Structure 1
């Protein structure tokens, strides 16, 4: 199937593809329309309708009442949006003084309005960062994403761990985590620090 030109995607379609990617980036569980609807704050009926449209366009693979997965084209477009979002978050923090709990919503608003050329230029101006403020890898312009050997904190076994990433979906949690020193690159002691944070929102690596 020939490549889909990105400008043929609507903002909603881009949001759905990115949401589907994010649901599967760190978890192996199958994703259904219910989980996708929850991620986007929409009704299951709306999610089902959009998934059907995405399937017709060849962007996702889906059978009724079954799991949804990105096609090769869908994954490419999802990573394009993920790249935009994470570079914009990094720009907002490094150049405009936003804190890490403030960048997500701003990047969500901006990511649909800029061009790929602008994003590539911004990435170069920032020094080609490889991760965003929350520790998530930034895909390359070619859609390549570095793999990382990290585990969710509540599944990690060990006395010490290095924080690799922190979920950016809850600003209040990010503020609390920062006060506790739970930020990418930090060494944390286990298990007592588990009592103060939602361990399911933090990914760590062995020291």
Structure 2
């Protein structure tokens, strides 16, 4: 269900707050928002107060900003546009998964609902983007994949990769060189607690090992998997 379009600033803020809550369950502080958006904390404080007055979020100075129902409705539609555009750029223009975020950031504010509907249809109504993040439907409904962070898997356990955080393009490029992407099956061989890393095997469709690598905790934290027997 489409919502009335609002300004770019509003869309940017509610989307960032919604995405932070999507996987961590928490809102964002002024400092965290400033770092994510690349603006001064003083500017963020002023904009948060305006968005609170406009009814898009709940915010108390020095506290965490959380979305109201109106803010969530706007955020979900922006996220839908962003993730469909990322998917289209990868599937139809040959972009790599680490290249699409900035392009989609620009296009998400300009694409019309009519064009977005055609893109959705052309793609076959995908339920997730190239990073495994769920794509909200036109009516605002959204289904998140079940999964846990890779580092939470016990040694000897296997899992299918269902999501990789797109926060750091360099990390996406690195994981791409290891052929770790959404849909890959992996097995945790061993946790190296003191080293802050784990040894990982990449598996084929029959469960056989095709490659092995060491992953630091920061990389393992960016990967969500669904455990398999």
TM-score (norm. length: structure 1): 0.92
Structural mapping, 1:40-59, within 5 Å: 40-59=37-56
1:63 aligns with 2:60: yes
In the alignment, which of 68, 74, 87 is matched to residue 84 of structure 2? 87
Q: 1:115 aligns with which of 112, 116, 122?
A: 112
Distance 2:30 2:104 in 1: 25
Structure 2 stretches of 5 or more lacking a match? Answer: 191-198, 201-212
1:199 aligns with 2:220: yes
The answer to whether the Cα contact below 8 Å between 2:28 and 2:65 also exists between their aligned partners in 1 is yes
Structure 1 or 2: larger strand share? Answer: 2
Equivalent of residue 25 in structure 1, options 15, 22, 26: 22
Residues 17, 27 of structure 2: 8 Å contact kept: no
Unaligned runs of 5+ in 1: none
Q: What's the counterpart of residue 175 of structure 2? A: 177
Aligned Cα RMSD in Å? 1.7
| 1:106 and 2:91 are equivalent in the alignment | no
Report the equivalent of 1:154. 151
Number of aligned residue pairs: 203
Larger radius of gyration: 2
Q: TM-score, normalised by structure 2?
A: 0.83
More helix by share: 1
Note the alpha carbon deviations across 1:143-202, whole angstroms, 9 max, x for none: 111022122223343521211111112221111101112111111121403832511211
